[in-house]
Each structure stands twice: as C-alpha cells, then as structure tokens.
Amino acid sequence: MTDREILHFIEGKKFSKQLWSPIGRAMHKYNMIEEGDRIAVGISGGKDSLTTLNALIRIQKIARLSFEILPIHIHPNTDQSSYQKIKDYCEMLGLNLFVEHTNLEEILFHDENPVKNPCFLCGRIRRGILYRILQERKINKLALGHHKDDIIETFLMNVFYQGNLHMMKPSYYAEEYGVQVIRPLAFVEEKNIIRYVNRLALPVTKSDCPYEVSEQSRRLKMKHLIQEMARDNPNVRSTVFSSIEGLL
C-alpha cells in the first residue's frame, strides 16, 4: 500500500470527533511525540493496541515530524499461528512486528502450584521483558493502548480496593528504564474504539486468558459498576474523568 492508501484506510469515515480529535488533544497536551523518537507499540492483538498503532501511523503520515514506529508483541507460548494475522497486518502497513516468545502460559496455567495473583505476575513479567527489549533496541518511548475507560476503572479500583488516589497517567517517565510511557487513547471512550475496529474490520485476536473475563476480576466489576451507573447518568464516564483529569 502507498502512504496515501494507508492513510485513507486508517482514517476510516466519521471518526474525526470520536477518535482523532481526542487522540490529537492527548498527544498535544502531554507532548507525546517528538522529532527523532523511536516509539515501540505494545501489540497484544486486541482492539486497543491495534487502534494505538493506527493512531501513531496516522500522525506519522500527516505531521511534520520524523519518528520511528516499532510494533512489539510479547507472546505467551511458542505457537506462531495465533499471531500471524497481526504480523500480516503490520506488514500491510509497512512495519515489521517484533515477536518475543515466552513461557508465560506454562508459568501461569500449567504449574503444579497455581499462582495466587496471576494478573499481577503476568503484568510484571511482561513489563520486565518489554523494558529489556526497549533497552536493547535503544527505544525511548513506549505507546500503550489504555483508553479513557481504563483510566476511570483503574482510579475506582484504587479507591475501593487500595484506599489511594493513584492514577493511570496518559504520559510518565519510567526513570529506572529511561523510557517515556505514552497512552495516545487516554481521552478516547472504549465504545468509539469498538466502533472503529468493527468498521475497519481490524484483525483483532481474542485473548485466551481465562482471568480476563472472570467474574472475580476487579476491573470487570468496576466496568459493570460504571455501566450500572450510566443507566441513571449516561455521562457518568465524562463526569468521573473530568473530576480526576487535573490529577493526571
């Protein structure tokens, strides 16, 4: 595909207000992209990471900035077939997907002694692997696919379960690793990402993780709580986000 064809495909139709405008505001407010950046995109294969990848490619095509985009996938096992669609998609957009195979699946699900807090351990191991790759490849920024709903849910989880006001920030510097972490979708509502992904028929890969949809998941409980509150106040997400935006 030519640059023009890629841009036309990525932008889709009728997404300026719901997607590109809030992404642009977040990028501008937190100065997420600068000249000469080498930006890794954590690609899980889910809707959020693919939308983040598209957002960065769009900026690369229309902005007067020169920066690199490096998609990275941390794979939980040695099966290559499950991420082939993501690899093909990246190649269609002119990018090579870097894949790091791990034994995460074996550690979390096939050990004789089950892990008590698999989500925490999984996240910690993935981050360690990811930051190692960034250092080895001299990458200075990491783009993650967390969106507005994620930020709200994380805030409520910390309030209800941890007793603190810690936030999932749109941008922060991981000093230990020398990497700036950015979240271009920070101002985008999840429902608009779903619409976008469905409209473009992006090759979303469903997660096999049983904990992601477990009713014991605290994040899922927060999501259900917000959905319940939205029945009385359809603007509840924006209301909560507005109350914490100054702390981000």
* Model pLDDT, residue 162: 87
> Smallest Cα–Cα separation from 30: which of 152, 168, 128, 156?
168
d(CA 224, CA 115): 26
* Model pLDDT, residue 181: 97
| Residue 44 annotated in ligand binding | yes
Query: Which amino acid does the sequence have at 20?
Result: W
Contact 151, 190 (CB under 8 A): no
What are the average pLDDT values for consecutive 10-residue runs of the chain, which has 248 residues?
Answer: 92 88 96 97 95 97 94 80 89 95 72 65 83 94 96 92 91 94 97 96 81 68 91 92 88
Domain that holds residue 150: 3-247
* Model pLDDT, residue 12: 84
Contact 79, 140 (CB under 8 A): no
* Model pLDDT, residue 69: 98
| Residue 48 annotated in ligand binding | yes
d(CA 162, CA 188): 26
Read off the CATH number of the domain in which 129 is found. Answer: 3.40.50.620
* Model pLDDT, residue 219: 84
Residues 6+ apart with CB under 8 A from 47: 193, 194, 197, 202, 204
Q: How many domains does the chain have?
A: 1
Contact 148, 190 (CB under 8 A): yes
Contact 99, 78 (CB under 8 A): no
> Smallest Cα–Cα separation from 144: which of 44, 31, 24?
44
| Residue 43 annotated in ligand binding | yes
